Amino acid sequence: MSDVEFVGEKCGVISMARKDPIPFYMYYALRAIQHRGQEAAGMALFDPDEKKIVCTKGLGLVESIFRRRQMEDLKGSMGIGHTYYSIRLSKPENAQPHLIKTAVGDIALAHNGIIVNSGQLIQELKAKGHAFVTDTEEEAMAYILAEELFAGNDIVKAAKKMVKRLAGSYALSIMIGERVFALRDPLGIRPMCLGKFKDGSGYIAASESVALDVTDAELIRDVAPGELLELKPDGIESNIVGSLENKSYCFFEHVYFARPDSVIEGHSVYETRKSIGRVLAKEQPVKADVVVPIPDSGRAHAQGFSDVSGIPMAEGLIKNRYINRTFIMPDQKTRDMSVREKLNPVKSEIAGRRVVLIDDSIVRGTTMRRIVKMVRDAGAKEVHVRVGSPPIIAPCYLGIDMTTRDQFVAVGKTIPEIEKEIGADSVGYISIDGLISAIKLARNDTCLGCVSAEYPIKIEGEKERFQQRLM
Amino acid sequence: MSDVEFVGEKCGVISMARKDPIPFYMYYALRAIQHRGQEAAGMALFDPDEKKIVCTKGLGLVESIFRRRQMEDLKGSMGIGHTYYSIRLSKPENAQPHLIKTAVGDIALAHNGIIVNSGQLIQELKAKGHAFVTDTEEEAMAYILAEELFAGNDIVKAAKKMVKRLAGSYALSIMIGERVFALRDPLGIRPMCLGKFKDGSGYIAASESVALDVTDAELIRDVAPGELLELKPDGIESNIVGSLENKSYCFFEHVYFARPDSVIEGHSVYETRKSIGRVLAKEQPVKADVVVPIPDSGRAHAQGFSDVSGIPMAEGLIKNRYINRTFIMPDQKTRDMSVREKLNPVKSEIAGRRVVLIDDSIVRGTTMRRIVKMVRDAGAKEVHVRVGSPPIIAPCYLGIDMTTRDQFVAVGKTIPEIEKEIGADSVGYISIDGLISAIKLARNDTCLGCVSAEYPIKIEGEKERFQQRLM
Amino acid sequence: MSDVEFVGEKCGVISMARKDPIPFYMYYALRAIQHRGQEAAGMALFDPDEKKIVCTKGLGLVESIFRRRQMEDLKGSMGIGHTYYSIRLSKPENAQPHLIKTAVGDIALAHNGIIVNSGQLIQELKAKGHAFVTDTEEEAMAYILAEELFAGNDIVKAAKKMVKRLAGSYALSIMIGERVFALRDPLGIRPMCLGKFKDGSGYIAASESVALDVTDAELIRDVAPGELLELKPDGIESNIVGSLENKSYCFFEHVYFARPDSVIEGHSVYETRKSIGRVLAKEQPVKADVVVPIPDSGRAHAQGFSDVSGIPMAEGLIKNRYINRTFIMPDQKTRDMSVREKLNPVKSEIAGRRVVLIDDSIVRGTTMRRIVKMVRDAGAKEVHVRVGSPPIIAPCYLGIDMTTRDQFVAVGKTIPEIEKEIGADSVGYISIDGLISAIKLARNDTCLGCVSAEYPIKIEGEKERFQQRLM
Amino acid sequence: MSDVEFVGEKCGVISMARKDPIPFYMYYALRAIQHRGQEAAGMALFDPDEKKIVCTKGLGLVESIFRRRQMEDLKGSMGIGHTYYSIRLSKPENAQPHLIKTAVGDIALAHNGIIVNSGQLIQELKAKGHAFVTDTEEEAMAYILAEELFAGNDIVKAAKKMVKRLAGSYALSIMIGERVFALRDPLGIRPMCLGKFKDGSGYIAASESVALDVTDAELIRDVAPGELLELKPDGIESNIVGSLENKSYCFFEHVYFARPDSVIEGHSVYETRKSIGRVLAKEQPVKADVVVPIPDSGRAHAQGFSDVSGIPMAEGLIKNRYINRTFIMPDQKTRDMSVREKLNPVKSEIAGRRVVLIDDSIVRGTTMRRIVKMVRDAGAKEVHVRVGSPPIIAPCYLGIDMTTRDQFVAVGKTIPEIEKEIGADSVGYISIDGLISAIKLARNDTCLGCVSAEYPIKIEGEKERFQQRLM
């Protein structure tokens, strides 16, 4: 997805339990899920000498936060980790894991997702006398857990009570003292999977299976929606702490968020994206000479589209990998340069040809409009846009931070209007049915909020898809 | 005092209320008390637009934390500030003010002093269900205040209850929402004074009057021991929230901690130090040719000593102002250099003469031993040491972080033994009576813990001087 | 090419002349050739107010050296720029452009290439009384140019004399006072092209055409081997300052160095790489199920291979884009992780299949061995390696810094021995003839030093391919 | 001197030769002369393994340039060092020592002083074909030395020739290959002294004797004006390379520049300053209650003034040592604060009293005016200013960078006019005769340029004091 404005609370989490020290394992696992968040990162480890959780975190990439010398000082074989993504101004104190010290022990928590009722929960907790340091939903969850444990519940019961109080999406890595847990919300909105280290030394849970690959762990299965998993060096203990008839897996993980080499809900993300391309080629056929992916996210979709359509694929747009910061330029001329330097066409593949541009999704449409223009300027005879997800018409409240509908190019527009807006000869989206068939998840178990405006959770002013009760 | 090992929880605090924006006032006030803490600094300001307290803080000097650009972003006319000193490893999250968000509003707190019963308080708070983020005594105080306010007490009553629960020394700057307070412990251990801006725009309370000088405020009086002062742009409101018959002002502020241009408890620190020098000259006379201060802290004492003794004073030791960090050197030769580069003798003032070295205090004695040797190597015929405080024989639990008695050179040694240890021809300390007469505070209102081993507060394993009850 | 050890003096250069200020144009042009050097960068601009060349440079990426605020201070409409690549320890003073101030004016020089006789030239210049500040070949070239100009030669004649004295590869951007030049060695070893800004405001010469794309300039032609081009806002002036019958274009620019969206010697790099893949498929056919490129450099080759062989292509290896630094790990386990985190297989595309891995080249072979193992571990039934350049058997003295033959896996080994070393079921290289046909350059105009051990220039201990004399 | 605008090319130099490694010795010696320059620093050491001079330098304080880890990498027992002071914008390449590589070996040079004819020398050198990298007078001197050596002169003869070509002030530390030298201009304008390490391992020459103190070296004597000294681990070799009848020692080193614990031309700087104070008290008596030095530079002068006048001295102005940077404030109010935070009065010593303020010199007068006002605001009944140098009425071309006469408060003003300008009840300067008597140098051997407008060297548009020819 080349719409850089489409950012959200992706984040990545890791839970890890081994017989031997894990700092380097955690480091590698965090780098494997760095794509889920580059704002901040951290790890909380149980220090066996000091008998407490030590949390090290900061702003920036994993590799800039954890330096060689510091890594050597880190200790512990039980821990959790986090990579953080936020569109809000980053503050060092918002980095995770969030650690609190309580009468029931140290509690550390790392979160991927969004708690829809966090405002209300924070208010309730304050009304009971709780004081907040960060005002984050992670602090609220830590306090809720502490409260339930403090009330005398064991951890499973406390987790059950917490699940009842939370509305929203959450894949959580939790430490209570030296015990390590993974917890996934009953709808399974955000992904989380379980792995076993191949050397038999322990277990790992992670947002994506690539964290298992890099630490030489074998993917066992996904953490089940509503499952609380305790990870120990020599085994796991599973408890279902909240169950719903229908799940609500986020399709966007498959379409764009996750790394292509990850396996989610049993399906290779790369294969799913190729399938999407194949379905798209059938649903939205076009006569053209070349299929060009928007790198890097559109590449697998384009492969599938090319396979079915028989139109050859070419890397017609090349990404400059060295652009991190861009100045906001004083004039139009340099503004054009700044667009051009991120993506540059291979004219020989484009000039005089009918080009199919493939991307995973279109949100605001501004970037796609610029790319279409760039491809035309490079001499394309026709430019057709094919999109690997249905039109995005509603905000996501469960992991992507888009607040208003008027940002979406597809809202209230017909396809011809979108074509005009984007400047393409044709625009074709995959259908919801087509998407579902490619993802191979049950329609009723897939969150389609952003493309259907129906949500799996009660959200003020929005339509609730099903009304479900925790079992 | 040249014994660099003798560091402690000095810290400095500022409370400020004006009609107009205060960020620059706060900046200057904090730099004026930078000598009380160089580890970290911060300011909490009530943002009038966002209706909340915004806290900006970090590790390092005030000038490195607050840059021009950031200063321009800061807003608010009500605020508190802090400069932090610690011998412990500095962590960004321990910088103050400490800010919490509660049902009774935002509470920010900046502290100078030590809470003797903080361990117990933290345990009690946790036992009630409170979760700690930093485990500091400042967090404990903020929670206690929140708890008392939450219980329905007004601020004065809440402060009274807090004072009852706290044992130790504390000069506090407090914000509750947009209200700004200053609070001094009933013993008055750490200093705090009140000033009025000369332009009539508001009030300031600060650890030392130099913060008033630099912000063009007039010193009105000291904050009274046990007084809670609310500062408003147009007035102050005073309430005594805890009262004791005898105070316990720290004499060390007068002898060494405070800036010489400060006025504490109504007395010019510079004049007090000169008086100490005068008394010392009478109590510990010596035949000598030149009086040499250990710069910078011994200079005023030396002036007084010279005045009374008639022995001329000379700047016989020169300090290199550019030495911040020193490598720990691999060998003895470079170790000697590293001592020498901080202080260097003016041989012409020393060679062939009988020298009186004047310092404010001797703690471990190691630095003084090196200086005596250096002065002898420079050709001094005799070296006599005169000290502006009585022998330090016991730890301070109320502001200086010395844990064990065996660090002090004076413990268990006779004067001849100390002379031998230090290598001086004679060593003379001021007597406690002499000190009291120079400081002009009542003996019973002065904390003499470190020179008498009797403390104003019950401390496990130590002798309590008086048993007092809050009135 | 995934062999990260195979680095060299790639570097990139820019010459630019416009009617209006160029600092931002230069910035964008430099970022477009950032892939040619990430160690250091700089730009030299003629300051029209101070009437002198001002050079700004430093270590690091273009974007970290040139900050917004500093960019706004830069002035001038005539200038040159450089991105620097070096395997040697980076020193700030080695960043380019190199600027000297002489009686014939300020001279600035930026270089891509290697001067084979630089040691001798430096010695000769010193013997004449020249003093060196950096001992670099760039300083030597600047002195030679100054010397020839000082001797009374005009610039064209001075350039001719310089060309006679230099042996080696060089694409040079040169400023003499406010005049801007581009100069390419008579063999044309390193690339350089000329563009005209589409708004008619001036000219640009650059190592690669991507710098023209991003600054909205049109590619006119390559700078000819042996051509000295003066760039003016309103025109160009061309002089041939050295001519040889046979050129010696580096084929490695086409195979690996250049960006795929560049056009070199009239040929699209992307198309050339696809052609290489096609030839490779014909020369080295294999029965397999999937073609997997080593990202990113092998992707175009793989596309061509897939097109001809009919074996479908898949992105079976995914690159983690967030890995910059890697710790050298204490043990084997974490060393394996560190390999794995850079590239990770998509198992669904590999397991149970016969895989063809495509890369542009193999140098040391160590990385390829690790990748083959990784692909086998992911379940590949067979692993076949196909390589887009002939076996590398000799050092490059003209742009790539490989000192000894024993580093190359192909030296002295038969194909079966290489297969064994790498662990592949088969290894197939493109032939030199096949490569030549794909690159579409005359064989006698192509430098094949590293694959033939015959060099276009006399190099001590190596065979010279042709003996040519400057015309 | 509290006029911070009065800055100049002070700089400090070190030459060192020992039997054992010197990096740490050099580090300590440089820190001892840090007050002579805080802009940049560096050291050049002969690397015995690589057989060449390695130069390490950078912007900032010695301690920030040389870190522990890097210090451990430095090698060599022969070297030179430099601390740099400049009012011009600092550029990394202007840091010294300046190192060049020539046919006669590596030459490194560090300079304190100003070469009056440097513009002409640079022009001449360029006219001979020399190319400059930095356009500094240090580069010019290095080239001249190289040129003379290259012409076949031995070092002594080359130095003689260089001395003939240079007009201006220079204390130089020079390395030629592994040989280390010190050279002082024939007028002896800038100071330099020679020391012998007490352990017998070698020799050191330095701008000030404090560098000897800290490295455990004994002061032998000053380097003679016009003397070239070679320093070897086991001895020194002296040659006079330029001799004049009259010297021209800068009196400002004694009055303000040098550290008080230095010994220059055989006289303790501290004692000289006290003498100045004594003479001043006799020449410019005043009835007053207290003598207050402007810290830190006026302290010794004040001591002398107090001794003779019998008026007690007090530290009535306290300096805040933590102020490095100051924002330029938007309004008058904060501008006043920024003055006040650097110096703060001790009111108890000032209020109601007749105060004598003592400073070493007055240049622009702006700072003194602010201080006089501050002292009056603190309640002084009268404020009398006494100054340890005669009125400054002319620029210094030999070490202080003041370009125009209209900056000086004393130019064209009578004493009553100066009193009015500064706001003092009286102003009294020491006379030139008085100064000479206190400094104990022959009047004809003292440079009085800035107070007499007569210079020891021909300067365009200024009066030359004597016409002297090198002998």
Q: What is the pLDDT of residues A393-413, one digit of tens each?
A: 999 888 765 556 778 889 999
Q: How does DSSP classify residue A363?
A: S
Within this chain, do residues C84 and C123 fall inside the same structural domain, yes or no?
A: yes
Q: For residue C120, tell me if it sits in a domain.
A: yes
User: What single-letter amino acid sits at B45?
Assistant: L
Helix (H) or strand (E) holding A144: helix A137-150
Within this chain, do residues C69 and C215 fall inside the same structural domain, yes or no?
A: yes
Residue A235's DSSP bridge partners are A232
Within this chain, do residues D277 and D156 fall inside the same structural domain, yes or no?
A: no
Q: Hey, are the CB atoms on A100 and B126 less than 8 Å from each other?
A: no
- The answer to whether B271 contacts chain D (CB < 8 Å) is yes
Encoded tokens for C311: 């074996």
Chains interfacing with B (3 or more CB pairs < 8 Å): A, D
Q: Hey, are the CB atoms on C147 and D132 less than 8 Å from each other?
A: no
Q: How does DSSP classify residue B328?
A: -
Q: For residue B248, tell me if it sits in a domain.
A: no
The whole-number pLDDT of residue B2 equals 36
Once rounded to an integer, what is the mean pLDDT over residues D285-305?
95
* Alpha helices by DSSP H, D41-116: 62-65, 68-73
Once rounded to an integer, what is the mean pLDDT over residues D23-48?
95
Return the ∠ at Cα D45 (arms to C132 and D72), rounded to 5°. Answer: 125
Q: For residue C28, tell me if it sits in a domain.
A: yes
**Which chain B residue shows the shortest CA-CA distance from D267?**
B348
Chain C residues whose CB is inside 8 A of the A336 CB are 216
Q: Is D89 exposed, middle or buried (0-12, 13-18, 19+ CB in 10 A)?
A: exposed
Residue A155's SS3 state is helix
Q: Residue-wise over C324-362: b if at least 16 C-beta within 10 A, else e?
A: eeebebeeeebebbbbbbbbbbbbbbbeebbbbbbbbbb
Within this chain, do residues A67 and A188 fall inside the same structural domain, yes or no?
A: yes
Q: How does DSSP classify residue B35?
A: G
Residues B102-105: contacts with CB under 8 Å, at least 24 apart? B102/A126, B102/A129, B102/A130, B102/A131, B102/A132, B102/B146, B102/B149, B102/B150, B103/A123, B103/A126, B103/A127, B103/A129, B103/B150, B104/B146, B104/B149, B104/B150, B104/B176, B105/B176, B105/B177
Give chain C's length.
471
Within this chain, do residues A292 and A144 fall inside the same structural domain, yes or no?
A: no
The whole-number pLDDT of residue C327 equals 64
Q: What is the mean pLDDT of chain D?
A: 92
Within this chain, do residues B40 and B174 fall inside the same structural domain, yes or no?
A: yes
Alpha-carbon dihedral sign for residues C246, C247, C250, C253 = negative
Q: Hey, are the CB atoms on C260 and A341 less than 8 Å from each other?
A: no
Residue B27: partners with Cβ closer than 8 Å, 6 or more residues away: B43, B62, B66, B71
Q: For residue D1, tell me if it sits in a domain.
A: no
**Which chain A residue shows the shortest CA-CA distance from B97?**
A133
Within this chain, do residues D230 and D376 fall inside the same structural domain, yes or no?
A: no
Q: Hey, are the CB atoms on A337 and C25 less than 8 Å from each other?
A: yes
pLDDT above 70 as % of chain C: 94
**Which chain D residue shows the shortest CA-CA distance from B36?**
D322
Once rounded to an integer, what is the mean pLDDT over residues A321-343?
74
Is residue B404 scored above 80 in pLDDT?
no
- The answer to whether A107 contacts chain B (CB < 8 Å) is yes
B193 a catalytic residue? no
End-to-end CA distance of chain B: 37
CA distances A211 to A14, A79, A217, A258, C296, Å, are 8, 14, 8, 12, 22
How many CA atoms lie within 13 Å of D420's alpha carbon, on the beta-carbon side?
A: 5
Q: Looking at A310-314, C337-341, D167-171, D313-317, which range is the least confident one?
A: C337-341
Is residue B368 scored above 70 in pLDDT?
yes
- The answer to whether D328 contacts chain C (CB < 8 Å) is no
The whole-number pLDDT of residue D401 equals 59
Q: For residue A252, tell me if it sits in a domain.
A: no
The whole-number pLDDT of residue C324 equals 78
CA distance B141 to chain D (A): 30
Residue D159's SS3 state is helix
Within this chain, do residues B83 and B183 fall inside the same structural domain, yes or no?
A: yes
Residue B354's SS3 state is strand
Return the ∠ at Cα A89 (arms to A88 and A95), rounded to 5°. Answer: 90
Once rounded to an integer, what is the mean pLDDT over residues B411-418?
95
Of A199, A213, A325, the CB nearest to C344: A213
Q: Hey, are the CB atoms on A216 and C340 less than 8 Å from each other?
A: yes
Chain D residues whose CB is inside 8 A of the B304 CB are none
Is residue B454 scored above 60 in pLDDT?
yes
Q: Hey, are the CB atoms on D131 and C107 less than 8 Å from each other?
A: yes
Task: Report the candidate in B425, B432, B427 with the shortest Cα–Cα distance to residue B446.
Answer: B432
The whole-number pLDDT of residue D326 equals 67
Within this chain, do residues D280 and D182 fall inside the same structural domain, yes or no?
A: no
Residue B218's DSSP bridge partners are B196
Question: How crowded is residue A471: how many other Cβ atoms within 10 Å of its Cβ?
Answer: 10
Once rounded to an integer, what is the mean pLDDT over residues A194-200?
97
Spatial distance between the Cα atoms of B377 and B345, rounded to a whole number of angstroms: 9
CATH of the domain at B317: 3.40.50.2020
The whole-number pLDDT of residue D96 equals 94
CA distance D101 to chain C (A): 5
Q: Looking at A278-287, B2-11, C256-265, D363-372, which range is the least confident one?
A: B2-11
Query: Given the DSSP bridges, would you call strands B40-47 and C354-359 parallel, antiparallel or unpaired?
Result: unpaired
What's the structural domain count of chain D? Answer: 2
Chain C residues whose CB is inside 8 A of the D99 CB are 133
Kindly report, residue by residue over C383-394, the tens digit of the pLDDT.
999 999 999 999
Chain B residues whose CB is inside 8 A of the A144 CB are none
Within this chain, do residues C188 and C281 fall inside the same structural domain, yes or no?
A: no
- The answer to whether A106 contacts chain B (CB < 8 Å) is no
Helix (H) or strand (E) holding C47: strand C40-47
Q: Looking at A71-80, A297-306, C7-16, C31-40, which range is the least confident one?
A: C7-16
The whole-number pLDDT of residue C337 equals 74
Place A341 in a pLDDT band, splitting at 50, 70 and 90.
Answer: confident
Q: Hey, are the CB atoms on C131 and D101 less than 8 Å from each other?
A: yes
**Which chain B residue shows the shortest CA-CA distance from D64?**
B325
- The answer to whether B335 contacts chain D (CB < 8 Å) is no
- The answer to whether A466 contacts chain B (CB < 8 Å) is no
Quote the domain boundaries for residue C220.
Answer: 12-243
Within this chain, do residues A307 and A216 fall inside the same structural domain, yes or no?
A: no
Q: Looking at A299-308, B333-342, D194-203, which range is the least confident one?
A: B333-342
Using a threshold of 3 CB pairs under 8 A, tell whether chains A and B touch.
Answer: yes
- The answer to whether C275 contacts chain A (CB < 8 Å) is no
Q: What is the mean pLDDT of chain C?
A: 92
Give chain A's length.
471
Q: For residue B285, tell me if it sits in a domain.
A: yes
Peptide bond into D330 cis (omega under 30): no
Task: Choose between A134 and A155: higher pLDDT.
Answer: A155
ipTM of the complex: 0.92
Q: Which of A11, A193, A396, A447 is catalytic?
A: A11
D58 in Cβ contact with D42 (< 8 Å): yes
- The answer to whether D337 contacts chain B (CB < 8 Å) is yes
Task: Choose between A87 and A424: higher pLDDT.
Answer: A424
Q: For residue B112, tell me if it sits in a domain.
A: yes
Spatial distance between the Cα atoms of A212 and A209, rounded to a whole number of angstroms: 5
Q: What is the mean pLDDT of chain B?
A: 92
Q: Hey, are the CB atoms on D100 and C129 less than 8 Å from each other?
A: no
Q: Which of D11, D55, D447, D450 is catalytic?
A: D11
Q: For residue B174, tell me if it sits in a domain.
A: yes
The whole-number pLDDT of residue D366 equals 87
D260 in Cβ contact with B346 (< 8 Å): yes
Encoded tokens for A249: 């897996």
Within this chain, do residues B156 and B297 fall inside the same structural domain, yes or no?
A: no
A13 in Cβ contact with A110 (< 8 Å): yes
Once rounded to an integer, what is the mean pLDDT over residues A68-89?
86
Is residue C2 scored above 70 in pLDDT?
no
Once rounded to an integer, what is the mean pLDDT over residues A210-231?
97
Encoded tokens for D448: 């009085």
CATH of the domain at A141: 3.60.20.10
Chain D residues whose CB is inside 8 A of the B324 CB are 63
- The answer to whether C44 contacts chain D (CB < 8 Å) is no
Kindly report, residue by residue over D50-91, the tens digit of the pLDDT.
999 999 999 889 999 998 778 888 999 999 999 998 755 567
Spatial distance between the Cα atoms of D38 and D84, rounded to a whole number of angstroms: 6
The whole-number pLDDT of residue A10 equals 73
Kindly report, residue by residue over C159-203, the tens digit of the pLDDT.
999 999 999 999 999 999 999 999 999 999 999 999 999 999 999
Q: Hey, are the CB atoms on C322 and A271 less than 8 Å from each other?
A: no
* Alpha helices by DSSP H, C260-358: 269-283, 299-309, 332-342, 347-350
The whole-number pLDDT of residue B3 equals 37
- The answer to whether A421 contacts chain C (CB < 8 Å) is no
**Which chain A residue shows the shortest CA-CA distance from C314?**
A303
Encoded tokens for D28: 């300590």
